[in-house]
Amino acid sequence: MESNFNLNGKIALITGSAGGIGWATAKTLARYGASVILNDIKSKEILEERKQEIKRDFNCEADALQFDVGDFEAVQNAYNEIFKKYKRLDILVNNAGSLFDNLVGMIRKKDIEQTFSTNTNGVIYNLQSAARLMERNKSGSIINIASIVGRVGNEGQVVYGGSKAAVIGITLSAARELASKNIRVNAIAPGFINTDLIKFLSPTIFNQRLNAVKMKRIGQPEDVANAVLFLASDLSSYITGQILGVDGGMIM
C-alpha cells in the first residue's frame, strides 16, 4: 500500500502554500517523494523559508514562485518557468483562496471582485496552464480545493460560497473535458478546518460550527492534505470528476 503513495519523480505545484492547508499539503507530498513548487502571494522571504524547510526535512527538490493566482499574465509566466526547468507538471493543487464574509446588504463590489479573482479565476488560470503541460505526457492530477460552503451555502457567505460553488462546477466540467487525455480533475470540499481563515470568528460562531461537526472535533490541515495525497497518487488512478468532502460529517 505504501508503494502506491510513492510520488517519486512527480512534480507538484501547490498554490497558496505558505501556510494552512497548502503548507500541510506541500509537506505531505514532499514526504512521499514529490518535488514541490510552492506558491503564495506573500513575501519572497516567507516562501524562501518554506522552500528551505521542505528541502531540509524531506531531502527533496523544492522551488518557490511568488505570484497572484488571479493575475492571468503572472500565472502564464510562472508556468513558463516551470516548463523551462522541469518540462512537465504532474500534480496541481489549486488551494489559494480568499475568505470574505458579510451579509448580502453589506457586500461591496471590490470584495466580490477580489474573492472571485482568487477563488475562481485563479483556479481556471492554473488549471488551463497545468492541463497544457500535463497533456504533453498524457498524465496528470488536478485537485481543486473547494469548500463545504460551496455545496450547502451558509449565512453571510454569499460571495465566498458562490466562488467555491463555481470551483465545483469548474471541476466537473474540466473532468469531462480532460479525461480522454488521462488528466484527472477532482475537488476536495473541506469543512471546519483549523487555519488562519477561522481565527477571526467570534466564540459563538466558532462553537456553532464546531457543534455541527458530527465527529465533534475541528479538522486539521493535515486531514485535507491526506485526501490530496490520495487523489494525487496512483491509488486514485480511476477517479475523476468527484467532490470529496473532508468535513467530519457536517453534511451527509
Angle between helices 158-178 and 109-116 in degrees, nearest 10? 30
| Catalytic residue status for 160 | yes
Characterise 216 by phi-psi region: left (phi > 0), alpha (psi -120 to 50), beta (else). Answer: left
- 86, 125, 160, 238: the active-site residue: 160
Alpha-carbon distance values, 145 to 18, 55, 58, 164, 249 (Å): 15, 25, 24, 8, 18
Q: What length is written for the chain?
A: 252
Q: What is the 3-state secondary structure (H, E, C) of 147-164?
A: CCHHHHCCCCEHHHHHHH
CA separation for the pair 50, 233 (Å, rounded)? 23
Report yes or no: 143 and 174 within 8 Å, Cβ to Cβ.
no
Which amino acid, one-letter code, is at 221?
P
Burial class (CB in 10 A: 0-12, 13-18, 19+), 43: exposed
Rg of the chain (C-alpha set): 17
Q: List the beta strands (DSSP E) in the chain.
A: 11-14, 35-40, 62-66, 91-94, 140-145, 183-190, 243-246
Q: Which three cell numbers stand for residue 77?
A: 509566466
Residues with catalytic annotation? 160
